[in-house]
Each structure stands twice: as C-alpha cells, then as structure tokens.
Amino acid sequence: MFERELAYYNEHKDELLQHHENQFVIIKEIEFGGAYSTDAEAYKAGLSKWGNVSFLIKRVTKEEEVVRFPALTTGVLNANLP
C-alpha cells in the first residue's frame, strides 16, 4: 500500500524539501495535493480533495522519522502474566 505515493515522494524529495520542509504533504497515487502545517490540516484537505479514500500524509524531513509502538502498548499482543 502507498507504493506509488512513496515513489512519488522519493522522486520529488529534494524539491519538497526546498519548498515544504517540516510541513505535511498529501499525495494520491502520483498527484501532489498540497502542503500543510499540521497533519490534521493535511487530513482535512485530503478528504476534501479526494473524499474518503486512501491517500498519503507525510512530513517532509531530511531524515526519515521512525515511530515505534510496542505491541503490548497498542494491544496487538496480550500478555497473560501469572
């Protein structure tokens, strides 16, 4: 999922960094939908532009951000401790 959107992002990353660093961009397939200050603004704009379908929201940064959610924290795994 999002292969085309991520490919578009990577192909245009230098340009996006020049104009939209630290902003949230929206991309649907190979269409750039705009840049926004917050992820919430980006989400609203994407819904308005494309409707309730999948689209990519990505923060434009030089280094990729890694977000980790331990499985026990999110409830994916349940630990039955004695």
Q: Which pLDDT value is given to residue 25?
A: 98
DSSP state letter for 30: T
Q: Which pLDDT value is given to residue 70?
A: 65
DSSP state letter for 76: S
Collect contacts of 16-21 with beta carbons under 8 A, ≥24 apart: 16/60, 17/60, 17/62, 20/60, 21/60, 21/61, 21/62
pLDDT tens per residue across all 82 residues of the chain: 899 999 999 999 999 999 999 999 999 999 999 999 999 999 999 999 999 999 999 999 999 877 666 655 555 555 555 5
